[in-house]
Amino acid sequence: MPMKLRFFVFFLIFLCLGECYASKIIPQVIINFGVNKKVIYDLNIGTYSIVQGKKEILTNAFTSFKNHGIFISSKEYAQRVYKKIPVSDEFGKGIKHIISMEKKGLPTMKLTFCTHPKSEVIMLQLEIVGQNLESNYLVPMDARLINNGLEQDPRTLFVPFDNDTFIKYNAKKLTNGVENISSEVSAVYDDASRAGIIAGSIEHKIWKSAVEITQKKDKRRLKIWSGYTSKEVTRDQIEHASLTGNSIKSSKMFFGLFADWRTGLETYAKANRLAEPPIVFKWREGTPVGWNSWGVLQGKINYENTTKVVDFFADSLKNFRNEGIAYIDLDSFWDNMIKGGYEGDYTQLKAFTDYCRRKGLKPGAYWAPFTDWGSGSGPNRRAEGSKYTFGEMWTKVGKGYHDFDGARALDPTHPGTRKRIDLVIKKLKEMGFKMIKIDFLGHAAVESTSFYDPKVKTGMQAYASGMEYLLKQLNGEMLVYAAISPNLASGRYVHMRRIACDAWKTIKDTQYTLNSVNYGWWQTYLYDYIDADHVVFAKESFGENKARLLSAVITGSLILGDDFSMNGPWNGTAKKLFSNPEFLRIVKNGKAFRPVDGNTEDKTNNLFIRKIESYYYLAVFNFSKKDFDLSLDFKRLDIPLGKYQATEVFDQKKIDFNMDTKIHLDGENAGLYKIGPVK
């Protein structure tokens, strides 16, 4: 053999041996992120761990998916290759780490980790690549969760898909036998130390996703996946629709380790807003304040009583404005003021909007664009504004349709649904409405056997299609406010969203609303504003009135709901409370207060706090009938140690505020303390 050829053969053998040797002695890929955190991926067996310092956080994590109904795991693959490439995305410059897995007869599986400098978060996404794929189940992470740092008061948070049916958040005690399947996001944290893990999806235009956290004996498990449906949570009657093609990706998933779970959820909300930035027009006015008719008047609204409400705000609540603006919002049954239905005579409704403007107020309206409330009258009714019948427009689910909350879902992609949107929104704009409350949006997000648009396969694709169309018709002319709607997917489409639905006047209503603030306050960073529903005073005690008002103030915006067209104690309550400008000063800030504690399961804690400029504002609630005395813990409140002076905002009493101060609160009552340095 010639010398040159012999050398070449030896060189090839050396390279092969070197690669084999390297694969044996370097079976792991190490991906660093945040401060002293890393992912360790084992290329030999297809699993990974996440480590913080010397503490293992989770281990034996694997990925999986279904293709044509067949379950396939990363552990089944024979070959795994790692590469990294630079990336510049909505989170800035970073590195994309890709683990590609191959085996003859199986689709290629690609697990991607994205890291960004100084970020305590790692992003995950699973992709399958092949021919004629079909999947409705993609799992980027299925891992054993280690107990490190979560021993004193371990909690796992249930987050609902929407705010319907009086559903509640639940900070479940993480003990043996607990199973928690949370929609889109969850937290695992120790409420004593506040250390926690946040995991969830940051994309919602295609998939419904979930986080599952379970504990059996002393073993905990965490799984994140796209393709989740549940009749009780997502309201779906059928399983998640499948995607088809040669490449199918899960939603991008967020995984972060935080010293404070509250900071983690706020970071998660901000990541959602970056991953799916708003397409609703940028809101440049102040925090919305105003009135909504559903609080008391409901189906009884007419021109006479609503214009009297306008008079009350114009004459008796002149200071109830933010940046000079307040909205008078007509909820459902505004069509009492039109003759002949949506295609009829709008003269009286136009008179109402003109009256609002003359009195210096902005008129608002309401609509549920993706629902049919008359399905009981049969399928052959012509839909207003179109040649189509409602029967043609109904969302098809199996052998039937989607009926929920007394209404039948309309296919958001159907031209009949859209023609009807064209008609109603055009009329509302012509009338001069400057705010629209849109409701029952979950009906647009349900999984269907098929949609009119063949390109739309999943409920979230239908939701995106319908909401994008609705916004085009609104054309930036109205404040867009969502009532019943998906918690996370609606962030792109609205300025303001209700945190919980249909709370009125009692201390129980306040407690129900504050459950959603306690565990969903972080959505204040996903939306311009979140809202605590209409505030009704009615004939309840002044203590309950204070609590109901305060529940709205600390949520971020303020919409009243009493029948101010007639005399009653609620009129005097409103005048008395809003003679104090401090409440509207706080509302002007527009952001929700943070909860102090997260250990109340499906109830709410008593304390919420926020720093605004140089002051700390502490909201205190007593939901029981018995008085209580509360000792303060400055560290727990995130207030630096020192001497402070506080003013109780409701009664304007000043008190010295220090570690020895005890707060007394009567039963079914609330207090608000403005805390500043001693002058």
pLDDT (tens digit, 9 = 90+) per residue, 233-271?
A: 999 999 999 999 999 999 999 999 999 999 999 999 999
The amino acid sitting at 600 is T
The yes-or-no verdict on residue 659 having pLDDT over 90 is no
Q: How far apart are CA 495 and CA 313, in angstroms?
A: 24
Please indicate whether the domains covering 25-275 and 607-677 agree at the CATH topology level.
no
- Any idea where the domains of the chain sit in the sequence? 25-275, 607-677
Candidates 2.60.40.1180, 3.20.20.70, 3.40.50.720, 3.40.50.1370; CATH matching 607-677: 2.60.40.1180
The answer to whether domain 25-275 has CATH 3.10.50.40 is: no
Residue 308, token pair as written in the block: 């009297």
Residue 218's pLDDT is 81
d(CA 115, CA 98): 11
* Residue 329 and residue 561 in contact, taking contact as beta carbons nearer than 8 Å: no
22, pLDDT greater than 80:
no
Q: What is the pLDDT of residue 13?
A: 41
Confidence of residue 207 (pLDDT cuts 50, 70, 90): very high
Specify the residue for token string 């293709």: 67
The token pair at 172 is 């479940």
Instruction: Check pLDDT > 80 for residue 14.
Output: no
Q: Which two tokens stand for residue 74?
A: 């990363």
Beta carbons within 8 Å of 671's beta carbon, 6+ residues apart: 546, 619, 620, 648, 649, 650, 663, 665
Q: For the whole prediction, is pTM greater than 0.75?
A: yes
| Number of residues written out for the chain | 679
Question: pLDDT exceeding 70 applies to what percent of the chain?
Answer: 96
Predicted local distance difference test score (pLDDT) of residue 661: 85
**Mean pLDDT computed over 641-668:** 91
What is the structure's pLDDT at 26?
56
Give the H/E segment covering residue 273: helix 261-275
- The reported pLDDT for the residue numbered 193 is 95
- In this prediction, residues 201-220 reach a mean pLDDT of 95
Nearest Cα neighbor of 534 from 291, 328, 313, 361 is 291
Nearest one of 370, 285, 361 to 329, comparing CA atoms: 361
pLDDT of residue 2: 53
How are beta strands 79-89 and 92-102 bridged, if at all?
antiparallel
Report pLDDT digits (tens) over 621-638: 999 999 999 988 999 999
Mean pLDDT score of the chain, rounded to an integer? 94
* Closest by CA position to 546, among listed 573, 567, 566, 514: 573
- Please, which pLDDT band fits residue 11 given cuts at 50, 70 and 90? very low
pLDDT at residue number 24:
42
* Mean pLDDT, range 206-225, rounded to an integer: 95
User: Which amino acid is residue 187, in one-letter code?
Assistant: A
450-465 tens-digit pLDDT: 999 999 999 999 999 9
H-helix segments, 60-153: none
User: What is the per-residue pLDDT across 547-584, written as a single tens digit (0 to 9) for each?
Assistant: 999 999 999 999 999 999 999 999 999 999 999 999 99
Q: Which two tokens stand for residue 458?
A: 């999943």
Percentages (nearest 5) of helix, strand, coil residues in the chain: 25, 35, 40
Angle CA 42–113–219, to nearest 5: 60
428 by DSSP, 3-state: which?
helix
Cα separation, 530 vs 551, whole angstroms? 12
Query: Which stretch of DSSP H or E encloses residue 349?
Result: helix 347-358
Task: Name the pLDDT band for 10 (thresholds 50, 70, 90).
Answer: very low
Sign of CA dihedral 319, 321, 323, 326: negative
State the average pLDDT over residues 343-368: 98
Query: Which pLDDT does position 43 carry in this prediction?
Result: 97
Question: Cα(208)–Cα(125) distance, rounded to whole angstroms?
Answer: 14
Q: Backbone phi, then psi, for 526, in 5-degree steps?
A: -100, -35
